[in-house]
Structure formats: structure tokens, C-alpha cells
Amino acid sequence: MSSITTTHWETLADQTQIDETVRALEANGFRTLVVDTAEEARQAVLDLLPEGIDVFTAQSMTLNAAGIAEAINESGRYDSVRKKLMGLDRKTQGPEMRKLGATPSIVVGSVNAVTRQGQVVTASFGGSQLTSYVYGAGKVIWVVGTHKLVEGLDEALRRIDEYALPLESERLQKALGVPSAVGKIVIFRKEIVAERVTIILVKQKLGF
């Protein structure tokens, strides 16, 4: 049984850890911004989106909590991939849905953990957002509360199993009547395309 408590996973990083993590992320090719609040994070995201561009908002409690998903998908200022997907039938239009979600101009989402060494870790049940994160999207924007900053990869994986998965499973059980699972995990160690990925660190607990 792990000795790490839920409180540990919800504790915001201190300024020293934030500064060290930002330096490591930048060295690994991830453009990184730091903001204080969800409102500032939302504005930072919108400032990065050209009006009319196609944007895919990955399923994310962080985006929902910060009002980012709504600002993108309901404002009419952008070509919302999410709204297109909601209008399709998964059983009969699955291939079209996969293509839409895989290659947007911009994908906006979150991740499960960021290490002091500048590695980014994200897990998924089915993997619908991973293709765009890894390669398919022209640009990637991740909004990440600083409670997701961890020491290293071992702690990142523990954070997923001990904290994020139980909460996501509870959410999915209430919404769809099924539990969640960690089907796929991706570790981003470096981004070779300049300014393809922007990480917005928020000094506020958002999502899990």
C-alpha cells in the first residue's frame, strides 16, 4: 500500500519546483508559460488561437474547470472539431471521427503529470487524444495545474494509478455506467518542432 496520500497529489508545487520544471521543459523543446489563475489560463489559450481555425478540445476536466472547452466550442469564433464529432455516429462513422480527431490544426488539452526533468506524461483509456498530441496536430496546447508537477517518472506513473485513474473512473461510472482504465500511456521526452507544443502551467488546482 502506498504511503502517498490524496493530499500529496493535490498539493500545488512551490516556486522553486515550478522554476526548475520550466527550465527543463524549455530545454526539451516545450514552450512554457506560467499563470496564476484559471481565468488567465483561459485567456492565454484564446490568445494562441487564430479566429476561424479548426481546434480539437480533448476531453479534459482541466479544460472544463477553466471554462476553456466552452470558450472554444461554443463561442462561434473557431471551427470546433469537438462539435463535429458530437454530430457523428461512432458505429457508422468511426473512420471519419478518427481522422477528424487525429489531425486538427490545433489540439487543446491537458496531461496527467510533468516531471522536474521536463518530461510530460499522459494516460488514456482509448487513446482518442493521443494521436493529435504525439504527431497529428499542427500545434498542441496543454493546460496543467501545478499540482501535477512531480519529481520523476516513477512518481508520474504512481500519480496516474493512485490518483487520476480512481477519480476518472468515478466520473465515467457516473456518466456512462462503466469504469475507466489506463489503456495507453505516452511519455513525451522532447519536442523537435520549434514551438509546436505550448504548456501553460497554472498555479491552481484544475482537474486531476
Q: Residue 15 and residue 30: Cα distance in Å, rounded? A: 19
pLDDT above 50 for 2? no
Listed residue (155, 110, 144) closest to 12, CA to CA: 144
Q: Which cell goes with 125?
A: 483509456
Q: Residue 59's domain is classified under what CATH number?
A: 3.40.50.10420
Report CA torsion sign: 8, 10, 141, 136: positive
- Number of domains making up the chain: 1
Q: Residue 61 and residue 152: Cα distance in Å, rounded? A: 23
Q: Is residue 83 situated within a structural domain? A: yes
Domain that holds residue 125: 6-202
Q: Residue 83 and residue 153: Cα distance in Å, rounded? A: 35
Tens-digit pLDDT profile for residues 165-179: 999 888 888 877 888
Q: Is residue 208 situated within a structural domain? A: no
Q: Is residue 36 situated within a structural domain? A: yes
CB 109 within 8 A of CB 58: yes
Average pLDDT over the chain reads 94
Tens-digit pLDDT profile for residues 5-25: 678 899 999 999 999 999 999
Tens-digit pLDDT profile for residues 138-158: 999 999 999 999 999 999 999
CB 200 within 8 A of CB 33: yes
End-to-end CA distance of the chain: 21
Q: Is residue 94 situated within a structural domain? A: yes
Q: Pairing relation of β-strands 54-57 and 106-109?
A: parallel
pLDDT above 60 for 69? yes
Residue 3: the pLDDT is: 45
Q: Residue 5 and residue 74: Cα distance in Å, rounded? A: 37
Q: Pairing relation of β-strands 106-109 and 139-145?
A: parallel
For residue 95, give every residue at least 6 positions away whose Cβ sits within 8 Å of its Cβ, in sequence order, or none: none
Q: Is residue 207 situated within a structural domain? A: no
CB 204 within 8 A of CB 37: yes
Q: Is residue 1 situated within a structural domain? A: no
Residue 5: the pLDDT is: 62
Q: Is residue 132 situated within a structural domain? A: yes
The pTM score is: 0.94
Q: Residue 145 and residue 11: Cα distance in Å, rounded? A: 10
Tens-digit pLDDT profile for residues 98-137: 999 999 999 999 999 999 999 999 999 988 899 999 999 9
Listed residue (173, 149, 171, 169) closest to 161, CA to CA: 169
